[in-house]
A = this chain, B = another copy of it.
């Protein structure tokens, strides 16, 4: 039995990596329990007892309380850190982008990557709205990142953590980042700020 923080996550999932990056950035100690979505490990009775929604990431806190939803978890872990503005309006802008990420970005960019790379589908089999709305999301980020260094202002926040998770892997979902110059600049800046390996430089250049 662990008495520390436990993170249930799938390493191929950007939503799960958000939690790992924030925990690592804050120097938290934790146990990572690899939980494969593709192998059905989020659908077992044991896992569903932990999270009835059948999704990762999930964290179990010391004492046993359980929290789900990637962005709620990173806010819980990092909401008082330098990755979260103290100013109420700046904090609200961070929240705006965190909700936008889950509603207008992840359902297209992450989902398209999952279908192509992990479910073995071809582009022809996919709903065309995935590429359209994913590109709309990238264009909106390009517009914002032409005005500020990071997505919610000039300093990195949890909203950058959330958005970089799948934006940096957008090429795996068949998105061409080339036209989004400000987005590419921001990916590098954010990877640097978080200490994430820039594994896809060759792809992006």
Contacts and interface: CB of A to CB of B under 8 A. Distances in A.
Contact of A99 (B65, B72, B140, B144): B72
A75 interface: yes
A103 B100 contact: no
A76 interface: yes
Count of this chain's copies in the oligomeric assembly: 2
Nearest to A106: B103
The SS class assigned to the A binding surface is helix
Interface residues of A, number: 30
Contact of A95 (B65, B75, B96, B100): B75
Interface in A132-153: 140, 143-144
Contacts of A104: 53
A72 B52 contact: no
A27 B16 CA distance: 39
Contacts of A143: 52
Interface string A67-99: 111111101100000000000110011011011
A126 to B, nearest CB: 14
A11 interface: no
A107 interface: yes
A61 interface: yes
A76 B52 contact: no
A102 interface: yes
Contacts of A93: 67, 72
Contacts of A75: 92, 95
B140 A69 contact: no
B53 A100 contact: yes
A112 to B, nearest CB: 16
A68 B61 CA distance: 32
Interface in A110-140: 140
Contacts of A53: 100, 104, 140
- Lowest 4 CB-CB distances: which A-B pairs, in order? A72-B95, A76-B92, A72-B96, A69-B99
